[in-house]
Structure 1
């Protein structure tokens, strides 16, 4: 029998159950942020049987220094002008074999979109945001040209077709049709974006 005037006792028998329920609650309701990756295709493991000779004029060089400045084809360039310059390079068609190219056919620039390569190189101290922004502009150049050709051939943007094709909820019949169309546009302007090894600079 408890003594008169003593404080009431707290029943702690269910504290473990309460703690367990709280743990489950926080595990279920907590969201964990995940980093988004970059959509890039890695080169094949085995090298090709024959050596491929790449002419220098078919390589569009883009360098980013640690201060975020762009050196495009050894010339300083503003970021706002990068996409237009990349489009002009990819769409040049100097050798005359590209019937759908609308470029200047400059003999000092790329021969054909299938031969054109964009080489991106950055400094080890380059800001990640700057690097991603430059990449987006280069990929945007490919998408602009692909959208142009997709509109000409199929009456809709390539980016819309690709998104619908990659959507797992798209019916298989529609995906089969989109697969051929997406592959056709990708053949016209293959995305050859080469990322060179980073370097350290003293600039």
Structure 2
């Protein structure tokens, strides 16, 4: 006469193992691209008209082949883009009184970047320098994110230089302490990160 194996305890063990793995396993979640989107426009309210001279817009176009058109110049790489954007932001071609005061408050290393060209940006800040990125629906995420990161790096290098930090050190500030918050605010005071992400064109356009 054969004896039957009691499988009841095996089921209990398997159930406990399943609970253990569910509790201890970390499931990675894709957070996507952390960009702050503008608030939704009221359909009953027309969007505000913002008059901005063409000289205050630094245009970056990326086509479906990941080739670049930067300020009308064809490029196949992003080399030197951060420095060009810094010079554009800090041009101070036609500063008002606030812009002049901002220029005079900058450290010498940043003032040296200012060419004060009347054909480039008037000044940083509202109504002044804006960096525009426009893509094609065939543009790869890798190139788009590379360009966006280089544009942001230009701002972080400016912010960091104003408070005696490198771009990476400034970027690493968490703002969790009063001292870090003060550095963040002092770095970007008067120079907001003005980046315009235009709606992509269709493939082939």
Mark the runs of 5 or more structure 2 residues left unpaired by the alignment. none
The answer on 1:195 being equivalent to 2:197 is: yes
Which residue does 1:41 correspond to in 2? Answer: 36
For the aligned residue pairs, the C-alpha RMSD in angstroms reads 2.5
Q: 2:134 aligns with which of 121, 140, 143?
A: 121
- Map of 2:169 onto structure 1: 160
Aligned residue in 1 for 2:149: 136
Residue equivalent to 2:116: 105
TM-score by length of 1: 0.80
TM-score by length of 2: 0.80
Mapped to 2, the partners of 1:12 and 1:178 lie a distance apart of: 61
Superposition pairs of residues 5-24 of structure 1, within 5 angstroms? 6=2, 8-24=3-19
Instruction: State the 1:12 CA deviation.
Output: 0.9
Match of 1:171 in 2: none
Equivalent residues of 1:64, 1:123 under 8 A apart: yes
Stretch moving more, 47-56 or 75-84: 47-56
1:79 corresponds in structure 2 to: 78
SS of the equivalent of 1:79 reads: coil
Q: Which sits farther off after the overlay, 54-63 or 16-25? A: 16-25
Aligned to 1:92: 91
In structure 1, the gaps of 5 or more residues are 168-174
CA distance in 2, matches of 1:49, 1:106: 31
Deviation at 1:53, TM superposition (A): 1.4
